[in-house]
Amino acid sequence: MLTSKNFALLGTVAGLFMAQSAYAADLPIKAKAVEYVRVCSLYGAGFWYIPGTDTCIKIGGYLRVDTTINGGGAHGQPAWSGDSGQGNRFYDYFISRSRMALTVDTRTATEYGLVRTFAQGDFQFNNFGSTNPSTIGAAPTALGGVSGTFLNGVGGGYVAVEYVFIQFAGFTFGKSASAYATPWQGFPGNNSSFLLGGQNTDTGVNNIQYTAQFGNGVSASVGLDDPTVWDRTPLYNLALGVSGSGTGTNAYAGWSVPDIVGNVKVDQAWGLFQWSAAAHYVSGSYNVLGAGGAPVSGATALTDSILSGHPDSKFGFATMIGVNIKNIPTGAGDDIKFDASYAKGATKYVIGTSSTSPSFAMFGGTSGQFGSNGSVGFGPTSDGTWLPTAFGGDGNIHLTTAWGVRGAFNHNWDPYWSTSIYGSYTGVNYDSVSAANYCTAFAASHPGRVAVFGGVAGTYTCNPNFNTSQLGVVTRWTPVKNLTFSGEVQWFHLQQKMQGSSVFTPTAPQPTALYQFANQDTLFLQLRAQRNF
C-alpha cells in the first residue's frame, strides 16, 4: 500500500535519475576510432601514411648470413692479399658475417614533385680481421680509429651506414649511388662484392647529383662525388721505396676537387644502355716526407715536406659502357648484363670493389729450387706514380692506365631455382717512365738481384703491369617468397709480369728467402642465407 512516504521516496529517486540523465547528456559523444595505419598505394606495396600527415613511409630490409671458405673476407673476397694471400697461419679459412639491414623510405608528393628520403643501416657482426701481430696493434687508438677487428669481439658488432640521401625536384643530396654507376653496380649476377672490371658504389658515396628525364626511358645525370673513399687508389711517391708486398707509399694530397661524373641512359622494355664518364683529380702531397730528407734539411718533418715541393696535379678520367639485355629466348626473366671500362689516372673505376681497391700479393708453393720459399705474384694498384727530381726522376705524375670488362648470364630454371654465370678480365699498365722508376725503387728496397740465399742468386726482369681474371657461378634456391639460399664458387687468377726470382723480405710473417715470380690462382666458396622483409 503506497503511503505519502512511499510517494516521496519514489519522487526523490526519479528526480535523481532525471538529474543524472541530464548530466550524461552534457558529456561529449564517444569519438570514432582513429585510423592509425592507412595504406599508401602511390608508391607500391609496403607503404603506409604516417598518421596525421600526407607522407608515406616504408620500413624494410633483410637479414643475411654469409660464410666464405678460403676467402680473404666475408662477402666473397678472394684470397688475393694480406694473410689470406700468403696462406699463413694467421689466416682464417672460414669467415662469416651476420647482418640485418634496416631501410626507411619516406615519400611526399608536392607541387615541385616527389620529396624522398632514404636511409639504410647495417647491424652486423663478423669474425674477419687480422690476428697477425705484425699488422695489428695491441689496442685501438683515437688517431688510427677503431676497426672491425676490435668491434667484433664477444657480444660485439657494429652499425655500418649505407645510403642516406634526400631527393627533390630531380636532385639527390647525400650518400647515394654515384651518377656514374650502372643500376646493377658491381653485381651483374654475382653475390661476391669483389668482382673487378668496373666501378661500384653499392653502399653509397657522398655526392650531389641531378637527373633529367626526357621521356621514353631516356635520361641523363650529372654529379659531384667525394673521391676520398670510393674513387681513389694510391698515388705512389717512389722516392719512398717499394714494400715487401710490391706496393709503394701512398702520397695523395688532401681532397680539393670532387670527381665530376655523369651518364646518359636508355632504359626500355628490351633492356638498358648506359654511357658514363668521370673526371678525377690526381694531386700529390710533398716530394719528401719526414725530417732530414733531401733536397732540404730542416728541423721538423713539416719544414722538410713543404720546402721539398710537390708535383703538379693532373686530371685523370674514366669511361664505361653498360648494357642489360632482357627477354632473351632462354626463359622468362633471364637476362645478360655486362659493362666495359677504361680509365687513366682513375684506377678505382676499374679495380672497384665494395671495399678499398686491392693491390695483389699472392704466394704459391715451392718450385723445388734449392733455397726457395715458393713463388709470389705482385699486382700494384695505383692512380699514378712520381719520382722527385732530387731522386733522379722528372718530378711529374705519370697516370696509371686500367681497363676491364665484366658481365653475367642470369637464368631462371623455375620459380624456385636460378643460376648466374659471371666473369671479369682486367688490366693495369704503367707507362715506361713509371715502370722504370718502380723497378728502380723495388731494386733499391730489395736488392735481391745480387743477393745469395741458400747458395742461389736471384735474377729477375721487373715489370709492374698485371692482369686479373675471375670466373664464377651462383645457384640460388627460393623455397618460399623472400627467403633465398645460395652457393657461389669463384676462381681468381693473377697474371703478373715479373719474371725470374729475387731474394727479398716480404710482409711478415713470410721470411727473407729466394722467391720466384709466377702467376697465382685461388678459389673460394661462399654460402648465403637471406630473408627479405
Residues 280/231, Cβ–Cβ less than 8 Å: yes
CB-based contacts of 439, cutoff 8 Å, min separation 6:
462, 463, 464
- How much is the pLDDT for 135? 55
* Contact between 362 and 335 (Cβ < 8 Å): no
Number of Cβ within 10 Å of residue 42's Cβ equals 12
Strand partners, 68: 95, 526
To 5 degrees, how large is the angle CA 205–CA 246–CA 391?
A: 100
Q: What digits encode the pLDDT tens for the residues 392-408?
A: 999 999 999 999 999 99
Can you give the pLDDT at residue 60? Answer: 97
Distance between CA atoms of residues 232 and 186, nearest Å: 17
Q: What is the reported pLDDT for 13?
A: 41
Q: What span, in angstroms and rounded, lies between the C-alpha atoms of 233 and 304?
A: 25
Question: pLDDT means per 10 residues in the chain (533 residues)?
Answer: 46 46 50 71 94 95 96 87 88 91 97 95 79 50 49 78 95 97 97 96 95 97 93 95 91 95 98 98 90 53 76 98 96 97 97 88 65 80 96 96 98 97 98 96 74 61 96 98 98 96 85 90 97 97
In whole numbers, what is the pLDDT of the chain averaged over residues? 86
pLDDT 10s digits, 233-244: 999 999 999 998
8 A C-beta contact, residue 284 and residue 313 = yes
Break the chain into its structural domains and give their ranges: 35-532
DSSP string, 356-419: SPP-EEEEE---S-TTEEEEEEEE---SEEE--GGGTS----EEPEEEEEEEEEEEESSSSEEE
pTM assigned to the model: 0.87
The pLDDT, as a whole number, for residue 367 is 41
C-alpha cell at 140: 685501438
Per-residue confidence (pLDDT) for residue 296, from 0 to 100: 52
Is 259 in contact with 225 (CB distance < 8 Å)? yes
What's the topology of domain 35-532?
Answer: Porin (2.40.160)
DSSP 282: E
Sign of the CA dihedral with 185 first, then 356, 236, and 518 last: negative
CB count in 10 Å sphere of residue 483: 14
CA distances from residue 48 to 22, 112, 349, 503 in whole angstroms, order as listed: 43, 22, 39, 67
Q: What pLDDT is recorded for position 149?
A: 58
- Please report the pLDDT score of residue 507 as a whole number: 84
β pairing state of 513-517 and 372-379: parallel
CA angle 404, 408, 409 (to 5 degrees): 150
